């Protein structure tokens, strides 16, 4: 049965499963089922489908690829059984075949299983085996093949290539003839890769003149020279060396995870604490950047010094600060704004995010991290040009990042209460996605596990309950059971299922309860006995400096911190009233005196814009300033008894006077005091859009509509008359899909065809060709009408007809 007919014979439900699992096949929807079959056999589509296979399912494909034609399921079971490290191939084989049929990588009945067109070509070295003898020796001169066949298969007849193929079909005797060193070289290549490098590989060597182990193998055809310095082990020889096994130590089921068992409730509480802390870190970052935003580099990133300062102010390691910065930017809480050069500022979206419940805020950050294509873990490393990679730099994008995060968390989801080791997770992922291995992937997994712990998706290395709900709510995440027992109470079951699938609802009961009070102490400190409410935390950060963090946060009041609160527009009475309202202890006398003293001196001096000026109702105080030696750099000049002018800027003048021990305030051109607020600056540019999760598969309605369109188009296509070989002089014409299929069959069978072709001027011509290969939109073939090899653009071929 041909592959196209097999596709056409699939039920609508099976076709919906196919296009849902491989949505690229209907982007856009083909005109008919022949087009669907042709697209399913394209190299890019096959590569994507193979990338989705686990180790055992891929081994089934590789085993079929090694065979010459269709294979019964019993023979396939026997071949796979030899390769298993333990156990039997069933029921994993039946499940693998069902999946491969659903993906249209394997077709046919259990009595004749075969790979879809193009799959064998996509597997360059299935199971690490080299090409067959006919393929590996095809570029050797016929004379050299004849001499080689005379040495290893004397007395046989036929072409050198045919004689060589017969001799190497059973290479046991030839292998026994070589020396121990040559046999060791064969054993090194037996389990792949099947290629090696040796000097002068192309030099002709006869059996009697062979001197080195490699020459022994080349002289007997056990190795084939494929280049000046490269050799390849033929597939038949490799299979003999493997003892008939195609794979070694194959596992039909995923390897077991190894790690430390943890109490799930303890892991959930630990993860919830980490989640609360991460939300507060992002909030504090945005609050600080509201007041003192860092600049944007010319390359579009965040400077190294700004990154270090953020880590110091947040009291976290630099990689954690980089994670908070990247997630905040990806979530649309931070964006570029400000002046000409640009600054990193919170967005208006941050104000909306800030007032939401903590659990909802965490879900926003965690989903953003799960789906963003940026890698915060690369911050501080260097690129291929030895340039540092800064936070928020465009070069931090990696398309594989969200896929690896979801895959790593999916592995953790399979082992509740277990904190698997990094090596165990990598081994499981290597089994689940064997074609996606590499050093970068291992680094991505390490970043994902570390960041998941920091964000609070995992706790003590175990996937938390809210982390599992996060994956269930994510289309890319691990699958979760969303079905409800129809025989049970529907209302209660739906509520329970909805609560279990809502990560915010799962996390909220685990979060520490925020407190709305502090304990004021006589040494001008305040102790927060737990996490403060968001508003109280912002107010305390404004009026005091954080001295230490931990189970209880310690704040210290000082002249500078009280002045900061007064600069924000609060009065002394208002400040003391807030302290009394939020303190579980009386306000100490020392703190009352501090507030009153700073408030008494606050604003007596006013600084405005000239270059800048100083205005004060007390001339004696201005006399004191002008007489101070430290004011010499300010270049002050007395304009009136109550006014001094300076050539420095207003901001610099305010900072300099405060450094000298005074308490000036800035005023506007109208003479009003300028109030500084923590949330006074926001990005004027658009907020960064959150990454939109892409569902794993198509919406069922879209898949159903696509199948209906394919059926209708195929019916119309079949009603057309098939192209036939026209009488002499008429150029063959036919549909493009039929043309491509006919050319693929001609290449596979090695036959000549008659084609219609449009030249560069649009004139129709006909050619008799012997097709060789088809790739990149071109057909390479031997043109008998011109006695030369040419390349033909596929879009110019009007049709194909056979030659009798």
pLDDT tens digits for 717-736?
A: 776 544 444 445 577 888 88
Looking at the chain, the number of H-run helices and the number of E-run strands are 34, 25
pLDDT tens digits for 738-773?
A: 888 888 888 888 788 888 888 877 788 888 888 888
Cα Rg of the chain, angstroms: 37
Q: What percent of the chain has pLDDT over 90?
A: 27
Q: Is the pLDDT of residue 59 over 90?
A: yes
Give pLDDT, residue 746: 86
Give pLDDT, residue 726: 42
pLDDT-based confidence at 285, cuts 50/70/90? very high
Q: Is the pLDDT of residue 480 over 70?
A: no
Q: Structure tokens of 767? A: 């050619």
Closest CA to 638 of 657, 649, 622, 661: 622
Q: What number of CA atoms fall less than 13 Å from residue 577's CA on the CB side?
A: 5
Q: What number of CA atoms fall less than 13 Å from residue 255's CA on the CB side?
A: 21
680 vs 388, which has greater pLDDT? 388
Give the burial class of 212: count Cβ atoms within 10 A of its Cβ; 0-12 exposed, 13-18 middle, 19 or more buried: middle
Distance in angstroms (rounded) separating the CA atoms of residues 197 and 215: 13
pLDDT-based confidence at 573, cuts 50/70/90? confident
CA 159 vs. chain centroid, Å, equals 52
> Taking residues 441-463, what's their average pLDDT?
93
Q: Structure tokens of 211? A: 């001197």
Q: What is the sign, positive or negative, of the torsion defined by CA atoms of 65, 67, 73, 76?
A: negative
pLDDT-based confidence at 475, cuts 50/70/90? low
Closest CA to 673 of 622, 614, 607: 607
**Alpha helix locations (H) across 456-558?**
465-473, 490-501, 503-507, 534-543
Closest CA to 645 of 626, 621, 628, 658: 626
* Diameter over CA atoms, the chain: 123
Q: Is the pLDDT of residue 46 over 80?
A: yes
Work out the number of other CB atoms within 10 angstroms of the CB of residue 670: 6
311 vs 802, which has greater pLDDT? 311
- Residue 673: φ, ψ to 5°: -70, 135
pLDDT-based confidence at 98, cuts 50/70/90? very high
Distance in angstroms (rounded) separating the CA atoms of residues 673 and 602: 11
> Taking residues 481-507, what's their average pLDDT?
54
- Residue 133: φ, ψ to 5°: -60, -45
529-533, 697-701, 749-753: segment of lowest average pLDDT: 697-701
Give pLDDT, residue 322: 94
pLDDT-based confidence at 486, cuts 50/70/90? very low
Burial 184-201 (b: 16+ CB within 10 A, else e): ebbeebbbbebebebeeb
Distance in angstroms (rounded) separating the CA atoms of residues 242 and 82: 11
Inter-axis angle of helices 318-330 and 264-291, nearest 10: 80
Q: Is the pLDDT of residue 61 over 90?
A: yes
683 vs 60, which has greater pLDDT? 60
Give pLDDT, residue 668: 75
pLDDT tens digits for 141-164?
A: 888 888 888 888 887 788 878 888
569-583, 670-684, 750-764: segment of lowest average pLDDT: 670-684
Distance in angstroms (rounded) separating the CA atoms of residues 382 and 606: 49
Q: What is the sign, positive or negative, of the torsion defined by CA atoms of 637, 640, 641, 646?
A: negative
Closest CA to 97 of 113, 117, 86: 113
Give pLDDT, residue 362: 95
Q: Is the pLDDT of residue 686 over 80?
A: no
Q: DSSP letters of 263-279?
A: -HHHHHHHHHHHHHHHH
Phi-psi map region of 715: left, alpha, beta (phi>0 left; psi -120 to 50 alpha)? alpha
3-state secondary structure of 17: helix
Please give the angle made by the CA atoms of 190, 193 and 198, to the nearest 5 degrees.
Answer: 90
Question: Cα–Cα distances in Å, from 121 out to 100, 118, 773, 775?
Answer: 17, 5, 11, 12
Highest mean pLDDT among 72-81, 596-605, 633-642 belongs to 72-81
DSSP class of residue 88 equals -
Pairing relation of β-strands 605-608 and 665-666?
parallel
| HEC string for 363-414 | HHHHHHHHHCCECHHHCCCECCCCCECCCCCHHHECCCHHHHHHHHHHHHHC
Distance in angstroms (rounded) separating the CA atoms of residues 151 and 145: 10
Give pLDDT, residue 32: 86
- Residue 549: φ, ψ to 5°: -120, 160
Distance in angstroms (rounded) separating the CA atoms of residues 419 and 270: 13
Q: Are 117 and 41 in contact (CB under 8 A)?
A: yes
Distance in angstroms (rounded) separating the CA atoms of residues 513 and 510: 9
Give pLDDT, residue 679: 47
Distance in angstroms (rounded) separating the CA atoms of residues 557 and 237: 81
pLDDT tens digits for 583-592?
A: 888 889 888 8
Closest CA to 62 of 110, 100, 19: 100
| HEC string for 181-203 | HHHHHHHHHHCCCCEEECCCCCC
Average pLDDT, the chain: 83
pLDDT tens digits for 505-528?
A: 999 999 888 888 888 888 888 888
Highest mean pLDDT among 297-306, 333-342, 411-420, 614-623 belongs to 411-420
Q: DSSP letters of 630-681?
A: GGGGG--EEEETTEEEESS-HHHHHHHHHHTT---EEB-TTSPBPPP-TT--
> Taking residues 458-487, what's their average pLDDT?
67
pLDDT tens digits for 338-395?
A: 655 688 989 888 888 988 888 999 999 999 999 999 999 999 888 777 788 899 988 8
| HEC string for 742-804 | HHHHHHHHCCCEEEEEECCCCCEEEEEEEEEEEECCEEEEEECCCCEEEEEEHHHEEEEEECC
Give pLDDT, residue 609: 64
Q: What percent of the chain has pLDDT over 70?
A: 89
Q: Is the pLDDT of residue 125 over 70?
A: yes
Distance in angstroms (rounded) separating the CA atoms of residues 569 and 542: 11
> Taking residues 3-20, what's their average pLDDT?
92
3-state secondary structure of 104: coil
185-199, 532-546, 674-688: segment of lowest average pLDDT: 674-688
17-31, 59-73, 238-252, 464-478: segment of lowest average pLDDT: 464-478
**Per 3-state DSSP, what percentage of the chain is helix, strand, and coil (rounded to 5)?**
50, 15, 35
3-state secondary structure of 162: helix
> Taking residues 541-550, what's their average pLDDT?
80
Report CA dihedral (140, 144, 149, 154) to the nearest 10 degrees: 170
Give pLDDT, residue 786: 65
Distance in angstroms (rounded) separating the CA atoms of residues 396 and 376: 7
Give pLDDT, residue 10: 92
> Taking residues 218-233, what's their average pLDDT?
84
Closest CA to 407 of 794, 780, 769, 51: 51
pLDDT-based confidence at 72, cuts 50/70/90? very high
The residue assigned the tokens 């965040």 is 302
Q: Is the pLDDT of residue 685 over 60?
A: no
Q: Is the pLDDT of residue 454 over 90?
A: yes
Give pLDDT, residue 473: 74
The arrangement of strands across the sheet holding 553-556 comes to 519-520, 525-528, 553-556, 545-548
Give pLDDT, residue 493: 47
Q: Is the pLDDT of residue 712 over 50?
A: yes
785 vs 347, which has greater pLDDT? 347
| HEC string for 330-375 | HCCCEEEECCCCCEEEECHHHHHHHCCCHHHHHHHHHHHHHHCCEC
Distance in angstroms (rounded) separating the CA atoms of residues 536 and 73: 70
Give pLDDT, residue 18: 93
- Residue 43: φ, ψ to 5°: -60, -40
Give pLDDT, residue 422: 92
**Alpha helix locations (H) across 660-735?**
700-718
457-466, 471-480, 555-564, 765-774: segment of lowest average pLDDT: 471-480
Q: Structure tokens of 402? A: 């969200």
pLDDT-based confidence at 446, cuts 50/70/90? very high
């Amino acid at each position: 049965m041909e592959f196209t007919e097999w596709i056409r014979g699939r039920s609508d439900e099976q076709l919906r499963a196919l296009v849902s699992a491989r949505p690229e096949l209907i982007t856009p929807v083909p005109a008919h089922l022949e087009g669907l079959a042709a697209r399913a056999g394209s190299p890019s589509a096959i590569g994507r489908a193979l990338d989705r296979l686990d180790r055992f399912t891929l081994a089934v494909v590789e085993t079929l690829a090694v065979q010459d034609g269709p294979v019964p399921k019993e023979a396939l079971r026997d071949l796979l059984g030899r390769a298993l490290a333990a156990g039997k191939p069933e029921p994993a084989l039946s499940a693998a075949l069902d999946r491969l049929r659903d993906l249209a990588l394997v077709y046919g009945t259990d009595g004749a299983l075969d790979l879809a067109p193009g799959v064998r070509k996509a597997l360059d070295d299935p199971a690490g085996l080299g090409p067959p003898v006919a393929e590996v020796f095809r570029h050797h001169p016929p004379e050299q093949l004849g001499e080689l066949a005379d040495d290893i298969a004397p007395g046989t007849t036929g072409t050198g290539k045919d004689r060589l193929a017969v001799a190497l079909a059973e290479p046991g005797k030839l292998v026994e003839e070589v020396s121990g060193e040559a046999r060791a070289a064969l054993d090194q290549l037996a389990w792949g890769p099947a290629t090696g490098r040796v000097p002068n590989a192309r030099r002709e060597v006869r059996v009697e003149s062979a001197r080195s182990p490699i020459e022994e193998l080349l002289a007997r055809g056990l190795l084939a020279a494929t280049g000046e310095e490269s050799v390849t082990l033929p597939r038949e020889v490799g299979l003999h060396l493997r003892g008939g096994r195609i794979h070694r130590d194959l596992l039909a089921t995923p390897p077991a995870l190894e790690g430390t068992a943890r109490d799930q409730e303890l892991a959930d509480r630990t993860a919830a604490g980490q989640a609360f802390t991460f939300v507060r870190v992002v909030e504090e970052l945005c609050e600080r950047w509201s007041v003192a935003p860092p600049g944007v580099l010319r390359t579009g990133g965040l400077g190294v010094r700004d990154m270090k300062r953020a880590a110091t102010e947040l009291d976290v390691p630099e990689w954690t600060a980089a994670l908070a910065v990247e997630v905040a930017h990806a979530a649309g809480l931070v964006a570029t704004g400000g002046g000409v050069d640009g600054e990193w500022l919170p967005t208006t979206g941050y104000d909306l995010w800030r007032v939401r419940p903590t659990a909802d805020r965490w879900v926003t950050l965690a989903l953003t991290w799960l789906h963003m294509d940026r890698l915060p873990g690369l911050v501080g490393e260097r690129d291929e040009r030895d340039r540092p990679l800064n936070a928020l730099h465009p070069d931090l994008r990696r398309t594989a990042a969200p896929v690896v995060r979801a895959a790593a968390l999916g592995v953790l989801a399979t082992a509740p209460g277990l904190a698997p080791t990094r090596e165990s997770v990598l081994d499981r992922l290597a089994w689940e996605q064997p074609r996606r291995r590499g050093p970068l992937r291992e680094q991505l997994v390490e970043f994902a596990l570390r960041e998941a712990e920091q964000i609070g998706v995992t706790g003590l290395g175990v996937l938390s309950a809210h982390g599992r709900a996060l994956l269930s709510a994510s289309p890319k995440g691990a699958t979760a059971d969303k079905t409800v027992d129809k025989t049970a109470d529907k209302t209660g079951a739906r509520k329970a299922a909805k609560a279990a699938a809502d990560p915010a609802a799962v996390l909220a009961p685990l979060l520490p309860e925020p407190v709305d009070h502090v304990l004021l102490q006589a040494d001008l400190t305040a102790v927060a006995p737990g996490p403060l409410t968001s508003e109280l935390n912002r107010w305390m950060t404004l009026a005091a400096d954080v001295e230490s963090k931990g189970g209880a946060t310690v704040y210290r009041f000082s002249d500078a911190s009280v002045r900061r609160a007064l600069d924000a527009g609060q009065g002394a009475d208002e400040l003391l009233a807030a302290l009394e309202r939020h303190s579980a202890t009386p306000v100490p006398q020392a703190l009352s005196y501090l507030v009153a003293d700073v408030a008494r001196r606050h604003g007596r001096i006013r600084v405005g814009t000239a270059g800048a000026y100083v205005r004060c109702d007390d001339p004696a105080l201005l006399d004191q300033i002008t007489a101070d030696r430290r004011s010499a750099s300010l270049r002050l000049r007395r304009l009136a008894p109550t006014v001094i002018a300076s050539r420095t800027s207003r901001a610099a003048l305010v900072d300099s006077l405060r450094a000298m021990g005074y308490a000036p305030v800035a005023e506007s051109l109208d003479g009003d005091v300028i109030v500084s607020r923590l949330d006074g600056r926001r990005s004027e540019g658009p907020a960064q859009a959150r990454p939109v999760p892409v569902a794993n598969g198509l919406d069922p309605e879209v898949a159903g509509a696509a199948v209906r369109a394919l059926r209708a188009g195929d019916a119309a296509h079949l009603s057309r008359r098939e192209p036939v070989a026209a009488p002499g002089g008429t150029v063959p014409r036919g549909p493009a899909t039929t043309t491509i299929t006919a050319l693929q069959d001609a290449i596979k069978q090695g036959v000549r065809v008659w084609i219609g072709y449009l030249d560069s001027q649009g004139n129709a011509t006909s050619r008799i060709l012997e097709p060789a290969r088809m790739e990149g939109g071109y057909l390479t073939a031997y043109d008998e009408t011109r006695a030369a090899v040419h390349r033909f653009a596929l879009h110019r071929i009007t049709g194909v007809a056979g030659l009798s």
